[in-house]
Amino acid sequence: MSRLVRLTIIGVLVLLLFLVRAFEKNLFYDPFINYFQNDYLRETIPGFGTIKLFFSIFLRYTLNAFISLAIIYVAFQKRKLVLFSIKFYIIAFIVLSIVYYILLRTGMANGYLFTFYVRRFLIHPVFVLILLPAFYYQQKVMNHKK
């Protein structure tokens, strides 16, 4: 696959990530979108359906993860990196979901910022921004050693 084709595909995939974000209010249930956009320090925590919220977060995380995995595959074309990324995404989802659930059940007693950032890692494709440079660096180091 030529470099131009790969960059075009990656561009389309990044556009898909933007579209997920642009239509988040229409596609996903999340009462915390408005809560964290407004004066959350003075407002009370909005009511939420736990199962509905976590199912919606799971769907959004999965959609972002699939698009991110496609970006990683197109960028590096190495199955091992994709398999590692899949394991990483699964473990991260389990750990972050448990932490987010505990934070919501305790009424964000540890502070709003920690809850906000845990939620951000769950609903936004932040991990692709970490994995891409890491894989690129690893590839450069491995090529340099040869």
Predicted pLDDT at 40: 63
**Do 135 and 72 contact (CB within 8 A), yes or no?**
yes
Cα angle: 48, vertex 92, 54; to 5 degrees:
15
Average pLDDT over residues 13-39: 87
How far is Cα 33 from Cα 38, in angstroms, rounded to an integer?
A: 9
Predicted pLDDT at 146: 66
Predicted pLDDT at 125: 94
pTM above 0.85, yes or no: yes
Predicted pLDDT at 39: 64
Query: 50-65 pLDDT, tens per residue?
Result: 899 999 999 999 999 9
Q: How many CB atoms neighbour CB 90 within 10 A?
A: 11
Identity of the amino acid at 14: V
Identity of the amino acid at 80: K
How far is Cα 13 from Cα 75, in angstroms, rounded to an integer?
A: 11
Q: How many CB atoms neighbour CB 30 within 10 A?
A: 20
Query: 31-52 pLDDT, tens per residue?
Result: 887 777 776 666 677 788 889 9
The parent domain of residue 25 ranges over 3-145
* DSSP 8-state assignment for residue 124: S
Query: 79-134 pLDDT, tens per residue?
Result: 999 999 999 999 999 999 999 999 888 877 767 788 888 989 999 999 999 999 99
How many distinct structural domains can be found in the chain?
1
Cα angle: 119, vertex 87, 135; to 5 degrees:
90
User: What are the angstrom distances between the C-alpha of 1 and each of 7, 56, 104, 118?
Assistant: 10, 35, 46, 37
Instruction: Name every residue whose Cβ is closer than 8 Å to that of residue 41 and which is 6 or more positions away in sequence.
Output: 112
